Structure 1
Amino acid sequence: MSPSIDSPAEYYKPEEDVFLPQIRNSPEAVLAAIDEFGRTRDFLMNVGPHKGKLITDIIATDQPTTILEIGGYIGYSAIMFGHALRKASTATGRHPRFLSLEMNPKFAAVSKALVSIAGLDDIVEIRVGPCRASLHSLAKGGKHSGSSEQQQPWDMLFLDHSKISYLNDLKLCEELGLVAPGSTVIADDMKRPGNPWYSEYVRASPGKKAEDCLPFKGCLSDGGISLGNPGLVYETMLVEGLEPTGLMVSFYCSFNFDHI
């Protein structure tokens, strides 16, 4: 019988008493430990140090206060980007928040544990549940769980879940006001495996997007398909980086700078 994810004591090993104090409250050390596990024990589909550095550079330059991630996996990007968000906030004086949406409860449990070890509990929140339901809940309840403040757009959106869902979920974020002028949208793995529909949408003009959604207006009633906000204008660039495997991959960075 395998141990239960809800019973951490069943996983306890004596060497943890030596190892954990060495990495506790150090995001860099936790990330290094995850990288080492991925190299020597079992492959992990994390953003990795090379591609991750490209994104933390964007965080350092743009200095966002809030980042919303869709697809958290085991928390690698939440730790890396949450740490970068904390460092960037020292210049702005604002309290940063990183929210990661993860559908798989086991992955979310691992994420929460690693975020806690990294000492980022005050910045990073892991929320469990289906993506679109979580987005609707987020739009109704404010930026953060338990918050009564009015919902506002997020400074940055990081898409790293099911690639086929990127476009539909970005459109939902647009409809809900979670993405607005001033938001930066980063979509991972746009070269391998890629997503031509997403690429076409973020590069299209408002007129083209409005024309494309006309046949669907008034006939979508189940909430499963979103039309987005065609008036939003993105400036998009393709950024290439290395996966942990060494393969060259890329992500789209789209700056939402206007509304027509």
Structure 2
Amino acid sequence: MTQVHTLEEYLRTLEVSTADTPADRPRPNAARPAPHNQSGTAKSATVTSTTEHVSTSTRNLVSPRPACFSAYARQDLHPSIKTGRTVKVPDPPMLDDGKKPTFKEWVTKMRDKLLLEAARFPSDEHQIAYVSSRVKGDAARHVTSQRYHKSLSPYDSVEDIFTHLSSIFENPNREREARRQYKNLAMGEDQSFQAFISEFRLLASEGNISKASLKNDFWDRVTEPLRMATLHLLTDSKVTFDDLAATMALYNSDMNHNLTI
């Protein structure tokens, strides 16, 4: 090997070494030129298309989530769902003589309370104790006598309390009376449509009137102008009682408006 004694000689040695390297020999770190052939354009298009597809797929993966996912991530939920705590329901009013509130109103609210706050009343004993705390006066006397430790027929569940109080405060002939009132019900000329349909629905519920007969019964009991305006709906099997009532409400409103003009 040639010995290098000075810097100038070392630089000349590098120039000679570079000159001896073939021009077409790829250098270690040099990028290779793209191949030149007839299918080069097609390959380039394929690579571009694939790149675009991958890019689109990637964008889809990182695209914003729907609002429902965002809400879930932010925990924008009802407090009872977010924290897992029991929903707090107001205590039912105290039941006394079955008038204010009526037994039906009281027992409906009581069932809602026991359902929505079930975690607070895990056993029959818990439920009985709570229901017993929401009675006073006449109702309390009946419940206390049945819960007395020497009672021959103590309550086994809240359903026993409800059945007991129902037999005392509910009219056993109420269904029969409601059916009688329902049969004689008719809309007065000066009666508001809203007041009439409210009474009709109430009597139908208390009298356990079949839903299948509500449509024809309601049509029979409204005023003559409303019957004539909706006669075509009566024979249409696709029109339900609710549809008929809603249409009659519109006709009634229009009639009242025309009378005031």
Q: Which has the larger radius of gyration?
A: 2
Structure with higher helix content: 2
Whether TM exceeds 0.5 here: the answer is: no
Using the size of structure 2 for normalisation, the TM-score is: 0.20
Higher relative contact order (CA 8 A, sep 6+): 1
Higher strand share: 1
